[in-house]
Amino acid sequence: MEEIIIQGGQQLHGTVQIDGAKNAILPIMAAALLAETGTTEIDAVPILADVFTMKSVLSALNAEVTFDQQRQQLQIDASQHLAVEAPFELVSKMRASIVVLGPLLARLGHAKVAMPGGCAIGSRPIDLHLKGLRQLGAKITQNSGYIEAEATKLIGADIYLDFPSVGATENIMLAAVLAEGTTFIENAAREPEIVDLAIMLDKMGANVSGAGTETIKIVGVQHLHGVNHQVVQDRIEAGTFMIAAAITHGEVLIKDAIAAHNRPLISKLVEMGVTIVENDAGVLVKGPAELQAANIKTMPHPGFPTDLQPQMTIAQLLATGVSVMNETVFENRFMHMNELRRMNADFEIEGNTLFLHGPAQLKGAQVDATDLRAAAALVLAGLVADGETRVTHLQYLDRGYYLLHQKLSQLGANIRRSEVFEDGAERPVLTAY
Ligand SMILES: CC(=O)N[C@H]1[C@@H](OP(=O)(O)OP(=O)(O)OC[C@H]2O[C@@H](n3ccc(=O)[nH]c3=O)[C@H](O)[C@@H]2O)O[C@H](CO)[C@@H](O)[C@@H]1O
Ligand SMILES: C=C(OP(=O)(O)O)C(=O)O
């Protein structure tokens, strides 16, 4: 079994380089299916399990995909005849594969995609994706675990989302770019990854405006072509390192970090006593001698991101006083807390609200990751705990962080990733793939 093993207590110092965003590359790979001519070349591709899963989904759909890991570059040629069906074995591995529904429907007039299951952090229905595609004229049926969408022609529509769902906004954008006429998505998601997708689509020949605001306008075009695109930096990975610097009393430059993408996190860290310097090189984070308690509520962007909630609870646990964390986006995203209790954390959960009593003196323990950001939170806890922490179930971590342990080690953490055998012997793991 692979484990990340940490001896807590080291301050982090230095500069860290952040990879391209997982939540941007996945819809961008789906967008490449829309290019009837040319090859799509994507740079700054993060080397993540989810990228390999999406690569398999695109290959199953007959696109030609090559991934040069050395150069972190993907080449996708979708000019040939595509298949309509994204199989269950792949879709069930990763919810985000549902975003191939929109482009397949737009390109082929027919798509069959396995229904993504619920997952640990919440039930995650896709009703808003389907409602939007229906409004564009698709006939949608659900049979034997598959969603089938058909349309002889998609027609632009005014679509209001009950909630600014990231995936629904993306799926609708990816279908509406080839629809006849104009589509407005109101109460659209405003995340930076939506903006990155719109930039990519416009380069492909689409006409998308308003991404990053609550109304996105899409004027349909007849044809899209392959382009070159560089994926935006991962604000969640950047934020994870900002928290790591803050809790270890460290001083870390998050190279080229886009402060505007992490405004809600930066503002909370400042409230907790962290010094933040924004300059041309990126964002410099200096942890204080003592963190102060702060109350946080997760919200769709530009609110505090749910994907930084588990990591931020570590800073709250270490802060002096009682901090509150209110999770409003997913209904089951406090699973890391049970593991933290074994590390001496003091807290209560009431519904979707967490009360954290600090400052905690965390103690090293063996802890199991339950999902991607829980894994990151447990690694952060290990950095500040007394003694040794061992984090297992690293397949979750590999969905969203490439070589987190190596980056932390370069900043001075005492951390390693090893395959640990039954007799306790260890073999170092240098790369995840
Ligand atoms: C690959 C990717 O980009 N993943 C991100 C994306 O997920 P994802 O796109 O799945 O997240 P959504 O914004 O769609 O979901 C947010 C909330 O809306 C609900 N909902 C969503 C769609 C729908 O049709 N009906 C519905 O009720 C969900 O159950 C959830 O409670 O945004 C989330 C919220 O910022 C992030 O945590 C994920 O990291
Ligand atoms: C919840 C997340 O991702 P996904 O939507 O891919 O499960 C995440 O990145 O924290």
> Using a 6 Å CB cutoff, which residues line ligand 1?
23, 26, 95-96, 122, 124-129, 163, 165-168, 189, 306-307, 329-330
Q: Which of 377, 246, 375 is nearest to 319 (CA)?
A: 246
Which tokens is 85 given? 């069906």
pLDDT in tens, 129-158: 999 999 999 999 999 889 999 999 999 999
Q: Is the CB of 95 inside a 6 Å radius of any atom of ligand 2?
A: yes
Q: What mean pLDDT do residues 269-288 have?
A: 98
Say whether pTM exceeds 0.95: yes
Whether residue 252 is predicted with pLDDT greater than 70 in this model: the reply is yes
- Residues annotated within the binding site for phosphoenolpyruvate are 22-23
Going by CA atoms, what residue is nearest to atom 9 of ligand 2? 307
**What are 337's two structure tokens?**
């807390």
Nearest to 50 by CA among 76, 77, 73, 29: 29
Q: pLDDT grade, residue 123 (50/70/90)? A: confident
Q: Quote the percentage of the chain above a pLDDT of 90.
A: 95
Q: CB of 360 within 8 A of CB of 384?
A: no
Among 390, 393, 32, which residue's Cα sits nearest to residue 200?
Answer: 32
pLDDT at position 329, please?
97
Pocket test for ligand 2, best of 52, 119, 123, 307 (most atoms within 8 A of CB): 307
Query: How confident is residue 404, by pLDDT bands cut at 50, 70 and 90?
Result: very high
Instruction: Report how far ligand 1's centroid is from the alpha carbon of 21 (Å).
Output: 16
What is the per-residue pLDDT for 281? 97
Is residue 201 part of the annotated active site? The answer reads: no
Span from the CA of 371 to the centroid of ligand 2 (angstroms): 9
Averaged pLDDT, 295-309: 98
What is the arithmetic mean of pLDDT over 361-384? Answer: 97
What totals of helices (H) and strands (E) does the chain contain, helices first? 13, 27
**CA of 331, closest atom in ligand 1:** 31
Q: Cβ(124) to ligand 2 under 6 A?
A: no
For residues 192 and 261, the answer to whether their CB atoms sit within 8 Å is yes
Q: Are strands 282-286 and 224-225 parallel, antiparallel or unpaired?
A: unpaired
For the segment 379-401, what is each residue's pLDDT rounded down to a tens digit?
A: 999 999 999 999 999 999 999 99
Q: Which of 202, 208, 191, 210 is nearest to 227 (CA)?
A: 202
Please give the residue that has the higher pLDDT: either 118 or 378. 378
Q: What separation in Å is there between the alpha carbon of 209 and the centre of ligand 2?
A: 26
Peptide bond just before 359 cis, omega within 30 deg: yes
Q: Is the CB of 98 under 6 A from ligand 2?
A: no
- The answer to whether the CB of 55 is under 6 A from ligand 2 is no
Query: Would the pLDDT of 245 be above 80?
Result: yes
Q: Which of 50, 127, 163 to mutate to test the pocket of ligand 1 (most atoms within 8 A of CB)?
A: 163
The ipTM estimated for the assembled molecules is: 0.99
Q: What is the mean pLDDT of residues 270-297?
A: 98
